[in-house]
Structure 1
Amino acid sequence: MAESAVGFLLERLAPVFENKLKLFTGVQAEVIFLKGQLELIRAFLRAADALEESDEELKVWVKQVRDVVHEAEDLLDELELVQVHNHTNGFSIYLSIRNMKARYRIAHELKSINSRMKTISSNRKRFLSKLDSSSEASNSITRGNTWHDQRGDALLLENTDLVGIDRPKKKLIEWLINGCPGRSVISVTGMGGMGKTTLVKKVYDDTEVRKHFKACVWVTVSQSCKIEELLKDLAQKLFSEIRRPIPEGMESMCSDRLKMIIKELLQGKRYLVVFGDVWHMYEWEAVKYALPNNNCCSRIMITTRRSDLAFTSSVESNGKAYNLQPLKEDEAWDLFCRNTFRGDSCPSYLIDICKYILRKCEGLPLAIVAISGVLATKDKRRIDEWDMICRTLGAEIHGNGKLDSFKTVLNLSFNDLPYHLKYCFLYLSIFPQDYLIQRMRLIRLWIAEGFIEAKEGKTKEDVADDYLKELLNRNLIQVAGTTSDGRVKTVRIHDLLREIIVLKSKDQNFASIVKEQSGAWPEKIRRLSVHGILPYWQQHRSVSQLRSLLIFGVGELVSLGKLFPSGFKLLSVLDYQDAPLKKFPLVVIDLYHLRYLSLRNTKVKMVPGHIIGKLHNLETLDLKGTSVRELPVDILKIQKLRHLLVYQFKVKGHAQFHSKHGLKAPTEIGNLKSLQKLCFVEANQDRGMIIRQLGELTQLRRLGILKLREEDAMDFCLSIERLTNLHALSVASEGENKVIDLTFLCSPPPFLQRLYLSGRLQELPSWIQSLHGLARLFLKWSCLNYDPLVYLQDLPNLAHLELLQVYNGDTLHFMCGKFKKLKVLGIDKFDGLKQVTVEKDAMPCLERLSIGRCELLKKIPSGIENLTKLKVLEFFDMPDELMKTICPHGPGKDHCKVLHIPDVYSTYWRDGGWDVYALDSFSRDCSARSGTVMRSHEPRIQWKV
């Protein structure tokens, strides 16, 4: 992590040398010296970071580097504050003297930092020989002397020791033996500790597999693998397998010569080569051309923690990638009891404790085996000891030697991360246990923290999204929820992996997590995450270096000014999301460095102009779910603002279904040139001036407009044509009967993926058919006189289509071979609709179909049995006559047509909420009113940008 801190500071120093931050006399030289020392130290910090756990002296040295780097970063930010005050506060003798004192103090402290850095750098030389010898030791460790012992033990497990292996084993054997005659790659991927090596070894040793292949070789790839060593290892094992002597001089052969020898050995043979634990793409790239494609049904197997590597290596060879899943609940319990109670059953009084601990393991075999090994040594009569482990599992992982191997396995994935990803991954420790982390919230927080550096041709959001994908590919975080068009919506982290990074975060002084009144804070706090309770007992603690404050689940708030009277002038992130906050926090007025301010889902009603206008570095202002309805003109001073979210859903029955409250924005909104997301702005003000201003926001990716007037249609279309980066657009007219005229739009945004239109359409815009990237289309109140499906059915990437009061006709016809990618379809309030027809091969990917409030529709869609992938069929507020047709004991004959659909629901809006009935409930009473399953006040579908 020290390497990450140094790399981060070096990036922060870049503006200094680009003259963005002017330095006064005496400081320039100190900064240059600091930069030179940092570059020298950074050269070998990665090795030191990886080995500090096993060397206390080295650990102290790394901590010294990290502390000095943090202090230097703080000084740079303070220097910027001094310069800002110098330029903005006007001239006064008092301010001039105060700033001069601050300058001298900063210069003195920077000189002191450089003196310490010089000493640290000189001490570095003492560690060089230690690092060299430790590097060799590390290589041998990685090859098998320490953590690989656990993997070696896994290779020796008997079948009776394994659970949940039969199904994936059978699948992999089938892939190996059957399939194309050419060489293909079978990859097995999953997070560390999932059991990839164990599974593949059992496949490799299977009698059927060994008979099928003439040469079988297993090669273990170390994390610090050298290509020549890997090729030598492969060649030696091949010579041994085919019983031929190893050529003289092979130890000194270059990689090209080794590849030729391997290729000659395997040519004409049906071979199986397994590469265990491949970490990087270059390792696969280095060996793949040595393995001939000899049309003998040869196979290569790879185990890896990286999903992208597994997918790429398999796809390019027409192979397969198997994503190993956690154990099922019953399998996990079986494995847990076998190892904990050694064949005996779990005592009834320990079941709840054991079930809780097992839930923390989340089906991860290595975690189950490791923790059950600890529990096996405990006295089963001492319930208090078991309960203690249950309550302090994180401390147990840190302090119990029996769990060291488990911790090492997961730490390897962290150590393999490049420095810019280590900060991003460690940041996940600030979120509470089992918290679903919204993707865009995380991306905006990373950007505000300064972890993301823009690359040429990409925005910071693009780069952050790449970082997130990389962490997903490495199986360090998991997708928790996706949108209907396949975008990642929320992510989460495995409970035990979270425990490990929380410990690492605390050890590295990266973040402090407060969950209770007791406990000690570190001397200097950089990031503070409060879970459930504000720390009153620390009221007078200095937090002058605090960079981030995030509050989760706090029932009662105290003014931050009272809680931290000394202030936190360097704060860049303040996140109040879901907190019981009633007023805009006045404390932010002095936070020049603040980049992220979230008041989402609070009770704030007003944003003071004299405060918000001072936040010149603010990039995200999240007021979604608040009662704010108007923004002050002072917000136009925030030229760096990238994300402005100010809206609230309102659901009051069907008449205002999916409606939103927007905001009144300043007329000159076009001055905010950096805006990427603007939702939702009311357009019926200032005689359409705002509509013309929108064209100035050329960086916009998401735009939401409410109350668009018909007379502003041409200006609106002209503005939209200028927004060439737009990915999502939501437009609502002034009311249900008001027209949206988008026919003036000649060149729609080329990258538009999501389009939401609420209002009457005299005709469906012809340009919609040209949106080949369109994945979501919601139309509401269109009231067209012709079937819109004809114009939408060939959109190649349309995954979600919602139609609410869109068509006045009596028939909807889904034609054969159309809507090829559609997964979700909603049909709502088609007053004249009497028949829906689905031809064979229409909507072949449809998974969810919702039909509601079509009073004349008395039969289910004709051809619904053709929708073979349909998982959910939902009717809401539909006639009883239709529901009777699918009741198994009713008069209808269509029950058999929906038997292939796992979930069939009937939903009714009653007294401000939804009553939901499952098919097995309303089948007992064809009036479809018995057996309520769920009561919900949430909208069935949310219209989002």
Structure 2
Amino acid sequence: MAESALLLVTTKIGIAVAAETLHHVRSVAKLSENMTLIRNDLELIRAFLKEIGRKNSTDGVTEAWIGQVRRLAYDMEDIVDQFMYVIGKQHQKGSWWSSVKKILKKPQHLFTLGEISTGLEKINRALTHLKQNRDWTQPIVGVGDVFATNYDSQQQLYLPGHDYSISDDELVGFDKNRKILMGSLNLENCLNLQIIALWGMGGIGKSTLVSNVFRKEAPNFECHAWVSVSQSYKLDDIWRRMLKEIYSKDKKEFHAEKMTCGELQDELKEILKKKRYLIILDDVWTAEDFRKIKEVLVDAKMGSRIIITTRSEEVASIAHDGCRIKVEPLEEEDAWRLFCRKAFPNTENHICPLALQEYGKLIVGRCDGLPLALVAIGSSLSLKAQNLTEWKLFDEQLIFELHKNENLSRVVKILNLSYKYLPDYLKSCFLYCAMFPEDHMIHRKRLIRLWIAEGFIEQIGKCSLEDVAEGYLGELVRRSMLHVVERNSFNRIKCLQMHDLVRELAIFQSSRESFSMTYDDGDGVTQVKPDSRRLSVLQCKNDTEPSMGQCRLRTFIAFSSNTASSALFPSESKYLAVLELSGLPIKTVPNSIGELFNLKYLGLGNTYVKILPKSVTKLHNLETLKLKGAQCVNLPKEFGKLKKLRHLLIYKYLDRTGSSFKYCDPVDPFEGLWTLKDLQTLRAVRGSKVFIAKLACLSQLRGLHITGISGINCAQLCDSLSKMQQLSLLAIEASNEDEVLQLETLTLSNRLKKLFLSGRISEGTWKSPFFSTNGDALYIIYLHCSHLVENPVPRLSELSNLTDIRLCKAYTGQELTFQPEWFPNVKTLSLYDLPHVNQIYIHERALVRLEDLQIGNLAELRDIPAGLEHLKSLKEAWFGDMHPDFERNFPTTKLEHVPKVRCTIRPGEA
């Protein structure tokens, strides 16, 4: 649909016409007025599109009309960006008012404004035509009872009789969840109504599993019904179908079609209050939907059960404790078994011929454990010739097959429903994730900053754009559109991935809507559509390169190190907002970078760039500059003019292992740094005396890494930090390994979650106001090169909410003891380079939630920590660079409960 494109362009128009100074000049004000009128029309069209989507009633005519709306929205975005470009180019040299006066004095700019005016007139004519066509298509859209028609048609997707594999023999990989489900149905001595929820992405097998259990367990209840809810439902239809199924069992004549909603409600309540019932509500999309339906599901204390299947974690949370079942993709072995059963149904033991296994494994890998896809694709392949050529062709054309092969259409319909019913503000965010390579680990912070640069995130009240974006991200996860690969120790999302098949369909949808293109000459995708708004270069093996002269291009992201350097800085795409080249072997940045006035995100992390051209100071819209891990630590003069900067990550790695005291080279504080009022992330900066005094001016900072701190400047640093109420991450690094950080007056807000201290720490630091009052807010603490004589563990145990502790060169004593009840929430404990520690004691009931133990280069430690067998939650234990005696004394029996154990000794001491 085009709603997300309309949402973006109407937002941009609002920004373009907001500058009050534009209204002082008649010719410019006229453009502003025309833009406002167009925005009003586009908002009406967007509302109309939402109504079409709500009725789920698109046909060929409507789809063509929607395509025209999308193209018009893109044309309007081009005009708005051109307008902002002209105004903004002059604004570099002065105020908005002076920029308008300069425009009026320059013929070339007046000519451009004339072009913009002509473009707006064309847009107006096109809008008039579109509205006339809308009036013409409306009768087609409105024919009949759309809700009823689509409810019935969608029911066919979910009814248990339409599931593919529901016999015990073919229900592969669901044994554990089936036992949990049956156990929840048959809770002994529980007569209260119990709500059970199964949740996971579309096609994961929720309905299939419930169907299998339903057929066995339904006879044990006095009445039962299976109802698919879906998005396009009417409440009376749900209750009517429920009654029909209940009465069909009793073979009672029943005329539900004539009953009103109130009569249906009364009838159901009357029946269900007298019987033990089992109701399946399949594919519930929102918690509000369930609450409405549940009005008739009375609790008569007779042991009744409701089972919900849903794609939404929010809906699943309605279920009772212990009755929420997350359905995950199949493991690789189970996925292969299920596929083979469908692909070779008539062979003994369903064995795949050796000649077909290579491509069979590739196809199964692309299904990524999704049972719906495995069953449908396996069944489709069972009808094809079993030869290598046929299977290779099928693998290469899988997406084409999914859309054109009738036997596979159900896979696409089920998966596309999740996208179709996303709110407008999430659709662009979701499609954007498909620009990353297959199986790519998408980092939360990076993705959020990209979304903001694209303009996808709407300001909500006083919330920062980053907080709103994180809410969007959580919503996509809860809707099972993205899945979390890694969380940090306090459960915040760290890395995500897209399911392979979902990503393929998102790429298809992105191309169809001209939202984005992925360039991959390894897969034969080498043509870039001229109207694509975004381009992602995934692979560039050959000498060819994508054409970058796309005036419509707003985003360019490259993952392939073979991309020609001439293609990496597309200066012809003057409206570019995102340029992400991190990780590529780039050495220089051309001076033409300064022409990209609209640029908001510039990613050059982990490149060989040593210097930025002076023209980068022209990028007045820049919000994120990422030079983390590059060779550049000096910024041009006048860089402080970039007032919209939100995230500045600039430091060169000196020692990536972290074992050296100085592991990175920071940027020197430049003139005007303290005037960047929107700055939220600053990593890393050298703490000069002048900068420390002005640090409090950066009141919006959330993440700060400051180095080179001397003891005499600590009091001023503590004073500045006390005024920074938004800090959630703070890293303080002393000027050298012998310098003592005097942090006795350290006062920080209770927002601080992560604290990194590198250097010796004064005794009074532990008695500072922060550790005395707000230390409990901390989740993560790293002590590096502290060289403490006193054991720091008792002090740290007072910080009851810690989840992650790292001690590196932090302690010079011989013994570490973890007493009972200490560190109840710690999940990760890392102990490195503690040269004299020879004994570690872990008492029972200490570190009860520890999952990851890392011990490295403890030269005097000869035995594993005493009491390690008490750590029942431990998932991984790593011992690295240890003494040879440590390996010889290694008691494997004490670590049998730990799934993953690794041990290495110091090189040369084997």
Conservation of the 8 A alpha-carbon contact between 2:744 and 2:762: no
2:837 to 830, 833, 836: 833
For residues 538 and 131 of structure 1, the distance between their equivalents in structure 2, rounded to whole angstroms, comes to 44
Amino acid corresponding to residue 494 of structure 1 in structure 2: H
How far did residue 231 of structure 1 move?
3.3
Q: Does 1:850 align with 2:854?
A: yes
Note closer, same or farther for the CA distance 1:690–1:242 as it changes in structure 2 (3 Å cut). Answer: farther
CA deviation vs aligned residue, 1:817-872 (integer Å, no higher than 9, x gap):
22111111122233443322211111111112222333333333222221111222
Range 4-13 or range 804-813, more displaced: 804-813
Q: Does 1:330 align with 2:333?
A: yes
How far did residue 80 of structure 1 move?
1.5
For residues 116 and 540 of structure 1, the distance between their equivalents in structure 2, rounded to whole angstroms, comes to 29
Note closer, same or farther for the CA distance 1:49–1:262 as it changes in structure 2 (3 Å cut). Answer: closer
CA deviation vs aligned residue, 1:26-52 (integer Å, no higher than 9, x gap):
424422331232132122213546899
Conservation of the 8 A alpha-carbon contact between 1:139 and 1:222: no
Q: Which residue of 2 aligns with 1:937?
A: none
Q: Which residue of 1 aligns with 2:108?
A: 98
Q: Which residue of 2 aligns with 1:162?
A: 171
For residues 376 and 256 of structure 2, the distance between their equivalents in structure 1, rounded to whole angstroms, comes to 45
How many residue pairs are counted as aligned between the two chains? Answer: 890
For residues 370 and 614 of structure 1, the distance between their equivalents in structure 2, rounded to whole angstroms, comes to 54
Note closer, same or farther for the CA distance 1:53–1:571 as it changes in structure 2 (3 Å cut). Answer: farther
Q: Does 1:786 align with 2:790?
A: yes
For residues 541 and 647 of structure 2, the distance between their equivalents in structure 1, rounded to whole angstroms, comes to 28
1:682 to 681, 686, 691: 686
For residues 401 and 792 of structure 1, the distance between their equivalents in structure 2, rounded to whole angstroms, comes to 62
Q: Which residue of 1 aligns with 2:96?
A: none
Q: Which residue of 2 aligns with 1:500?
A: 505
Note closer, same or farther for the CA distance 1:749–1:105 as it changes in structure 2 (3 Å cut). Answer: same
1:341 to 339, 344, 349: 344
Range 785-794 or range 507-516, more displaced: 785-794
Range 814-823 or range 43-52, more displaced: 43-52
Note closer, same or farther for the CA distance 1:359–1:659 as it changes in structure 2 (3 Å cut). Answer: same
2:901 to 901, 904, 915: 904
Q: Does 1:646 align with 2:654?
A: no
For residues 241 and 368 of structure 1, the distance between their equivalents in structure 2, rounded to whole angstroms, comes to 34
SS at 2:82 equivalent: helix
Amino acid corresponding to residue 697 of structure 1 in structure 2: L
Conservation of the 8 A alpha-carbon contact between 1:53 and 1:59: no
Conservation of the 8 A alpha-carbon contact between 1:639 and 1:673: yes
Q: Does 1:691 align with 2:696?
A: no
Conservation of the 8 A alpha-carbon contact between 2:633 and 2:652: no
Q: Which residue of 1 aligns with 2:737?
A: 736
Q: Which residue of 1 aligns with 2:181?
A: 172
For residues 653 and 718 of structure 2, the distance between their equivalents in structure 1, rounded to whole angstroms, comes to 26
Range 574-583 or range 484-493, more displaced: 484-493
Conservation of the 8 A alpha-carbon contact between 2:633 and 2:666: yes
2:380 to 371, 374, 389: 374
2:304 to 298, 305, 316: 298
For residues 798 and 538 of structure 1, the distance between their equivalents in structure 2, rounded to whole angstroms, comes to 50
Conservation of the 8 A alpha-carbon contact between 2:644 and 2:676: yes
Q: Does 1:866 align with 2:874?
A: no
Amino acid corresponding to residue 611 of structure 2 in structure 1: M
How far did residue 504 of structure 1 move?
0.9
Q: TM-score of the superposition, structure 1-length normalised?
A: 0.89
Range 569-578 or range 181-190, more displaced: 181-190
SS at 1:496 equivalent: helix
For residues 355 and 744 of structure 1, the distance between their equivalents in structure 2, rounded to whole angstroms, comes to 61
How far did residue 95 of structure 1 move?
6.4
Q: Does 1:280 align with 2:286?
A: yes
Amino acid corresponding to residue 613 of structure 1 in structure 2: T
Q: Which residue of 2 aligns with 1:5?
A: 5
Range 445-454 or range 873-882, more displaced: 873-882
SS at 1:430 equivalent: coil
SS at 1:633 equivalent: coil
Q: How does 1:245-284 map to 2 (within 5 A)?
A: 251-254=259-262, 259=265, 261-267=267-273, 269-284=275-290
For residues 77 and 240 of structure 1, the distance between their equivalents in structure 2, rounded to whole angstroms, comes to 62
Q: Which residue of 2 aligns with 1:663?
A: 667
How far did residue 780 of structure 1 move?
1.4
CA deviation vs aligned residue, 1:324-382 (integer Å, no higher than 9, x gap):
1212222222221222122323221111011111100011111112212332232223x
Amino acid corresponding to residue 188 of structure 1 in structure 2: L
CA deviation vs aligned residue, 1:435-483 (integer Å, no higher than 9, x gap):
2211111111110010001211311111111111111111111112233
Note closer, same or farther for the CA distance 1:654–1:648 as it changes in structure 2 (3 Å cut). Answer: closer
For residues 305 and 547 of structure 2, the distance between their equivalents in structure 1, rounded to whole angstroms, comes to 66
1:775 to 762, 773, 779: 779
Q: Which residue of 2 aligns with 1:418?
A: 423
Conservation of the 8 A alpha-carbon contact between 1:639 and 1:674: yes
Gapped runs of 5+ residues in structure 2? 94-98
CA deviation vs aligned residue, 1:290-328 (integer Å, no higher than 9, x gap):
333444333221000112211x202xx335211112122
Note closer, same or farther for the CA distance 1:395–1:585 as it changes in structure 2 (3 Å cut). Answer: farther
How far did residue 128 of structure 1 move?
1.0
Note closer, same or farther for the CA distance 1:785–1:238 as it changes in structure 2 (3 Å cut). Answer: same
Amino acid corresponding to residue 518 of structure 2 in structure 1: I
For residues 485 and 406 of structure 1, the distance between their equivalents in structure 2, rounded to whole angstroms, comes to 36
Q: Does 1:823 align with 2:827?
A: yes
Identity of matched residues, %: 32
Conservation of the 8 A alpha-carbon contact between 1:141 and 1:147: no
Note closer, same or farther for the CA distance 1:654–1:456 as it changes in structure 2 (3 Å cut). Answer: closer
Amino acid corresponding to residue 338 of structure 2 in structure 1: L
Q: Which residue of 2 aligns with 1:719?
A: 720
For residues 480 and 667 of structure 2, the distance between their equivalents in structure 1, rounded to whole angstroms, comes to 40
Q: How does 1:22-101 map to 2 (within 5 A)?
A: 22=22, 24-48=28-52, 55-88=59-92, 96-101=106-111
For residues 390 and 155 of structure 1, the distance between their equivalents in structure 2, rounded to whole angstroms, comes to 22
For residues 251 and 143 of structure 1, the distance between their equivalents in structure 2, rounded to whole angstroms, comes to 18
1:543 to 546, 550, 567: 550
For residues 662 and 298 of structure 2, the distance between their equivalents in structure 1, rounded to whole angstroms, comes to 59
Q: Does 1:218 align with 2:226?
A: yes
Q: Which residue of 2 aligns with 1:916?
A: none
Gapped runs of 5+ residues in structure 1? 887-893, 912-926, 930-945
Amino acid corresponding to residue 903 of structure 1 in structure 2: K
Q: Which residue of 1 aligns with 2:127?
A: 117
Conservation of the 8 A alpha-carbon contact between 1:612 and 1:634: no
Conservation of the 8 A alpha-carbon contact between 2:545 and 2:567: no
Note closer, same or farther for the CA distance 1:648–1:479 as it changes in structure 2 (3 Å cut). Answer: farther
For residues 606 and 256 of structure 2, the distance between their equivalents in structure 1, rounded to whole angstroms, comes to 73
How far did residue 737 of structure 1 move?
1.7
For residues 133 and 500 of structure 1, the distance between their equivalents in structure 2, rounded to whole angstroms, comes to 30
Q: Does 1:622 align with 2:626?
A: yes
Note closer, same or farther for the CA distance 1:832–1:181 as it changes in structure 2 (3 Å cut). Answer: farther
Q: Does 1:186 align with 2:196?
A: yes
SS at 2:124 equivalent: helix
For residues 536 and 56 of structure 1, the distance between their equivalents in structure 2, rounded to whole angstroms, comes to 41
CA deviation vs aligned residue, 1:749-783 (integer Å, no higher than 9, x gap):
21111111111112243333532231111111223
How far did residue 284 of structure 1 move?
1.2
Conservation of the 8 A alpha-carbon contact between 2:57 and 2:141: no
CA deviation vs aligned residue, 1:388-415 (integer Å, no higher than 9, x gap):
2222322322333332221111111100
Once superposed, what is the RMSD of the aligned Cα atoms? 2.8
For residues 789 and 585 of structure 2, the distance between their equivalents in structure 1, rounded to whole angstroms, comes to 49
Conservation of the 8 A alpha-carbon contact between 2:90 and 2:103: no
Conservation of the 8 A alpha-carbon contact between 2:519 and 2:536: yes
CA deviation vs aligned residue, 1:724-746 (integer Å, no higher than 9, x gap):
1111111111122211121112x
Note closer, same or farther for the CA distance 1:870–1:87 as it changes in structure 2 (3 Å cut). Answer: closer
Conservation of the 8 A alpha-carbon contact between 1:147 and 1:408: no
Conservation of the 8 A alpha-carbon contact between 1:337 and 1:343: no
Amino acid corresponding to residue 3 of structure 2 in structure 1: E
Note closer, same or farther for the CA distance 1:538–1:377 as it changes in structure 2 (3 Å cut). Answer: same
For residues 167 and 892 of structure 2, the distance between their equivalents in structure 1, rounded to whole angstroms, comes to 49
How far did residue 786 of structure 1 move?
2.5
SS at 1:646 equivalent: strand
